[in-house]
Structure 1
Amino acid sequence: MALFKHGRDHRLPLYQQVRDELLDNISSGTWLPDVPIPTESELAKSYEVAIGTIRKAVDTLVNDGLLYRSQGRGTFVRRPDFNASLFRFFRQMSSDRRFVMPTSQLLSKTLKKPSLQAASALKIDVNDNAICLERLRFLESQVVLTEEIWLPAPLFSSLIDLELSDFGNLLYPFYEQQCGQLIASAKETLTIQTANSYIAAALKTAQNSPVAVIERVAYGYDKTPLEYRISHGAAETFCYQIEIA
């Protein structure tokens, strides 16, 4: 039997052991989005298991949303589309009532101890170093969101020496390009709070006025927390819209 990278746990069904090995190829970046993974025949030969075992292992990763099959092209690592996820339900609305994506400006990048919330979300110690990004999001030249973004320093050390102008408008492709860290999923929680003096000044709204607060924890393919983000936006600029069939 071919050697598995992390050994064999014979308590698990064989397809699940293979599934864990395939997941390691995804989470480690061995298999990248937009590039077909090896065929089932090639994987069966590599792991010295039946094609049916490989197919069942791949099926579980497809069902989990980590892989997808493209007819006639092969099987690929799924790249989630986060471009509009923050605004899927609470989106900024332009003056002519169109939903548009804001632009961004990075204000600061510091290496420091994480906040209690960031440490808890990232599962790191409060004494560990973390990278903190402060960013504004604009809509038609008006600030609509403030963002505080925390990243575990060991995984994102390549960002420490970069200039603020080096950062792109979309951070997740930038993380992948600069650090090899791929965001696979995220969990968001939205609450309504009141604006403190800093948030009110940034959003040009009254202190203690209602603001929507979106907390996001973003994860890698292996469910390692990679980013903690907290965003504030004036409540009147948000629009909740959902279709119920």
Structure 2
Amino acid sequence: MNQWKQGSDARLPLYQRLREEIMDRIASGEWPPDKPIPTEAALTQRYDVAVGTVRKAIDTLVHDGLLERSQGRGTFIRRPDFDASLFRFFRQVDAAGHARVPDSRILARTLEQPAEPIARALALPVEEQTLKLDRLRTLEDGSVLKEEIWLPATRFAPLKEIELERFGTLLYPFYESQCGQRVGSARETLTVETADQETAQALGIATGDPVVVIERVALGYDRTPLEYRRSRGPAATFRYQVEIS
């Protein structure tokens, strides 16, 4: 039985239409991450397409890191480890030299009109409000990252009333459980700037010291921008490594 959603663009190649359809089903929460998506045979019947079309659509989503195949179990929604990505650059260790993911604390939560670059990154009209979170990440009582996070206020309305103490270290599972918003991928940009007085005080460094800034746009499985984040850390703890073969 053909179950295409309304609005599917018939001008696109069939596999690409199916790819977008799968992403929409994932983004809406219809297909949860702890269970496999429907089999190729089921998708073939559901959308009345050839198995080759289904396979090509799934292959592109696997290639893009949104799905992953598990031998003998099926195809699952992939959950990227975003903190592992961030701390690939800022290597944090405890007193014993073991790698650690820092704790976090929300310092402030405000509703604000986004500046034009933030509105553009979130694909929002500038008159639409954002929910801004100011967050500090710490390791053994020392500050290692200062973060500013902007979220579309309408999508994340439940976060306006939740006690700040309930925001955990991992925000993306929290977004999903409280707001039904699933982050599937992200784009990051690295730059360097000097610390202003506020940043220096938060990080325990001198004003004017170099800091590395990681700007991240987090996207839903349907590629809708869900979060814009700026993470600032001391350049002294920054480490970049790449393997070339």
Normalization by structure 1: what TM-score? 0.92
Q: CA shift at 1:90, angstroms?
A: 3.0
Comparing 29-38 and 45-54, the one that deviates more = 45-54
SS of match in other structure, 2:231:
strand
Q: CA shift at 1:125, angstroms?
A: 2.4
**CA separation in 2, counterparts of 1:159 and 1:65?**
28
Q: CA shift at 1:141, angstroms?
A: 1.0
Q: CA shift at 1:51, angstroms?
A: 2.3
1:136–1:146 Cα contact (<8 Å) kept: yes
Aligned residue type for 1:71: Q
1:93–1:239 Cα contact (<8 Å) kept: no
Q: CA shift at 1:60, angstroms?
A: 2.1
SS of match in other structure, 2:183:
coil
CA RMSD of aligned residues (A): 1.8
Q: Does 1:120 align with 2:120?
A: yes
Alignment of 1:155-170 (within 5 A): 155-170=155-170
Alignment of 1:1-245 (within 5 A): 2-7=2-7, 9-245=9-245
Aligned pair in 2 of structure 1 residues 191, 7: CA closer, same or farther (>3 Å)? closer
Q: CA shift at 1:116, angstroms?
A: 3.1
**CA separation in 1, counterparts of 2:8 and 2:104?**
47
In the TM superposition, what whole-angstrom CA distance separates every residue of 1:151-200 from its partner, at most 9, and x where no partner exists? 00011111111110111111011011111111111111111111111111
SS of match in other structure, 1:189:
strand
**CA separation in 1, counterparts of 2:17 and 2:121?**
29
Aligned pair in 2 of structure 1 residues 38, 130: CA closer, same or farther (>3 Å)? same
In the TM superposition, what whole-angstrom CA distance separates every residue of 1:61-82 from its partner, at most 9, and x where no partner exists? 2222221111110111111111
Percent identity of the aligned residues?
A: 58
**CA separation in 2, counterparts of 1:183 and 1:12?**
25
Q: CA shift at 1:97, angstroms?
A: 4.2
Unaligned runs of 5+ residues in structure 2 are none
Aligned pair in 2 of structure 1 residues 2, 233: CA closer, same or farther (>3 Å)? same
Unaligned runs of 5+ residues in structure 1 are none
Paired residues, number: 245
SS of match in other structure, 1:111:
strand
1:92–1:238 Cα contact (<8 Å) kept: no
